[in-house]
Structure formats: C-alpha cells, structure tokens
Copies of this chain bind each other. A is one copy, B any other.
Amino acid sequence: MKEIKIGLLGLGNIGTGTYKALEMNRDIIEKKIGAKVNIVKILEKDIDRERDITVSREQFVSDPEDIFSDPEIDIVIELLGGVEPAATFMERAMKSGKHVITANKAAVAANYPRLMKAAEENNVQFKFEASVGGGIPVLNPLDCGARANDYTEVLGIVNGTTNYILHKMSTEGMDYDTALKDAQEKGFAEADPTADVEGIDAANKLSILMALLFGKYVHPDDIPTTGISGITKEKIEEAKENDCVIKLIAHATVREDGDIDYEVRPTYIRTYHPLAGVLEEYNAVYVKGNLVGKLMFYGPGAGPLPTGSAVLGDVMEIAKTMDLQDTADAE
C-alpha cells in the first residue's frame, strides 16, 4: 500500500483536532483512498503541551524548511492561523512541489491570486475546504459536483460567533452584551471578539466564495462590512414583527450587466427561508445556480474535529488524483 506523507504546520487547537481526527478514523480513510496516511513531521514550538493524541518528539521540527525540502512529503497542511508567515509558508511549500491544504481563511482571502498562481505554476493542488463553513463540505461540492452551474448569488451565514449571539438575543431576549458574554463563556467567542462581531471573519469567507463561484477576487478589506455590535433588542423585536429574523449575511449577487454586488451586514431573513432555521453557532451557505436553482449546505462552522474532518476530506480529494499528478510531473 502506498503511503501519503504529510507535513503539518502548527499543532494548536485545529492542528491537534486534525491529528486526532486522523487517529480516530484512519481505517475508514485509508480503506477509502487505498493508501496509508501519516503525519510525519510537525512544525511546532510548543512540544510539551498536554494534548490528547499520540505524537512523538521525533515528529517535531523547528525549521519549516525541514518539511519543504523533504522529498518524501506529498502534502503540507497549514494550520498556523494568521496571514503571515502562513501565506509565505504555503507558497514556499507549493514551490517545493507539495500539495497544500489549509483551514486559514484570513491567509487565503488576503492572498488568493498569489496562492492560486503558486499552485498552477508548480502543478500542485491547493485546497481550503475548511476555510469556509468549517466542517461543512461547501467548496468541494460547489467546485466539483455542482460546478456545472453558472452561479448568480450566494448568501452565507459563515460566522458561528455572531449567529450564536443573534440566536440568543432572538430566542432568549438577551441584549447584545449579555449574549456576547454568554458566547465567550461557552467558547463560541474569543476574549477579543472584534474579528467575529465586526464581520471581518465573514468578509474573509465571502472573498473566498466569490473567487470560487464567480471567478472574481475581491480583497476582504474592500468588501463593505457591517458587524452586529449595533444590533439592539429593539431591532430584533422589529424584525420579528415583520416575520423576519436578523442574521449576519455575507452576500454577493451577479447583476444583469455582469458586475457583482457584495456586502457583509446584518440582514432581515424571512422566517420561512431555509437560512432562518440556521440556529445557534451553526453555519450555512445558500447559493443559486442557473441549472440547479437553490442549494443550501448546513453544518458546524468551527471546532477542532469538524475542521479536521474538512481538512482530511481535502487530503482524500487530493489522493484521488495523486497518481495523475505524478504522471504529469514525469512527462
């Protein structure tokens, strides 16, 4: 049996979740793809942290070049988070002939053209399913199985923190500050919640969705973005009186002239719309295509194991074509 060797950048929460997900479901994954899968090297400074996984000291490296220059490694998984050095590391890995997988929406959104160019020039695959919608298979289905469509619109609930806060305000009558505090206590919001509540995280994901669905790249800084910190109990009640709920929606629509309107902002959604039923910290991406009509993908938008599930899904997608890539390289 062939072995797919992986170099992992970062063994924080998401890195550990991905490692653990592979430990848990190795048999299913290896049987499905017909190859062994092993994380052979890990770039991580914090070797001694307590983690619920079996990892040996020999797997850790302190110099990323130990991974990039290792001819045995087929795939590099980047789970460092943050724009840099993550983006530069991914580019470097692709230039070394490695396929690259990431869950890092900020690094992908800020560097989409550069990273896609690196993938194309080096004849490797660049996959980032986990960067939008966490564990939900969204990008792969839209890019493959449903790619026969001409897409005209996307509406996404792509941030779990804000959806949880709005849900609590709507169903339990909490005000914004109380709901934010509740989210922080439950682990759905960070100590500094700015990137989530101000819509920055959602803008990163909209940038990726637009690039993939419409072939149009817009830097997330250039997406008009309004967060939810201005949402009051009164506005929530007003929405209800109009048979609506307020959701933070990442929205892009193709106009008749071909231009694209895009924005992240709190939006009235009719209670009978499928997006209105996306409760608590769940995410969903709703698209319109010219053949299929309306599709929605729903599931957990974050968390170490769901994110690991999406990352391993990308490993399996790459595995499908790995012989093909090898043949192309040899020609």
Interface residues in chain A, defined as those with a beta carbon under 8 Å from any beta carbon in chain B: 21, 24-25, 28-29, 32, 129, 135-137, 140-142, 144-150, 272, 274, 276-279, 282, 289-300, 303, 305-306, 308-310, 312-317, 320-321, 323-324, 327-328
Contact of A292 among B135, B140, B147, B314 (CB under 8 A): B135
Give the complex CA separation of A34 and B244 in angstroms: 44
Query: In the complex, what's the smallest C-beta–C-beta distance from A324 to chain B, in angstroms?
Result: 4
Say whether B148 contacts A21, CB under 8 Å.
Answer: yes
Contacts of A327 in B (CB 8 A): 323-324, 327
Contacts of A291 in B (CB 8 A): 21, 24-25, 135, 305-306, 308-309, 312
Give the complex CA separation of A129 and B323 in angstroms: 24
Query: In the complex, what's the smallest C-beta–C-beta distance from A290 to chain B, in angstroms?
Result: 7
Contact of A293 among B135, B292, B313 (CB under 8 A): B135
Known: A129-B145, A148-B309. A295 touches B21 (CB 8 A): no
Contacts of A279 in B (CB 8 A): 272
Contacts of A274 in B (CB 8 A): 277-278, 298
* Further pairs besides A135-B295, A137-B145, A148-B312: 17, Cβ < 8 Å: A29-B147, A129-B145, A136-B292, A137-B146, A144-B144, A144-B313, A145-B313, A147-B316, A148-B313, A274-B298, A277-B277, A292-B299, A292-B306, A293-B305, A296-B297, A297-B298, A320-B324
Say whether A316 contacts B144, CB under 8 Å.
Answer: yes
What residue in chain B is nearest A22 (Cβ atoms)? B148
Say whether B294 contacts A146, CB under 8 Å.
Answer: no
Contacts of A272 in B (CB 8 A): 277, 279
Query: In the complex, what's the smallest C-beta–C-beta distance from A15 to chain B, in angstroms?
Result: 15
Say whether A292 contacts B298, CB under 8 Å.
Answer: no
Say whether B148 contacts A316, CB under 8 Å.
Answer: yes
Contacts of A295 in B (CB 8 A): 135-137, 297-299
Say whether B320 contacts A292, CB under 8 Å.
Answer: no
Give the complex CA separation of A323 and B298 in angstroms: 33
Contacts of A24 in B (CB 8 A): 150, 290-291
Contacts of A144 in B (CB 8 A): 137, 140, 144, 313, 316-317, 320
Give the complex CA separation of A196 and B296 in angstroms: 24
Say whether B148 contacts A28, CB under 8 Å.
Answer: yes
Say whether A29 contacts B148, CB under 8 Å.
Answer: yes
Known: A24-B290, A25-B290, A293-B135. A313 touches B146 (CB 8 A): yes
Give the complex CA separation of A146 and B292 in angstroms: 21
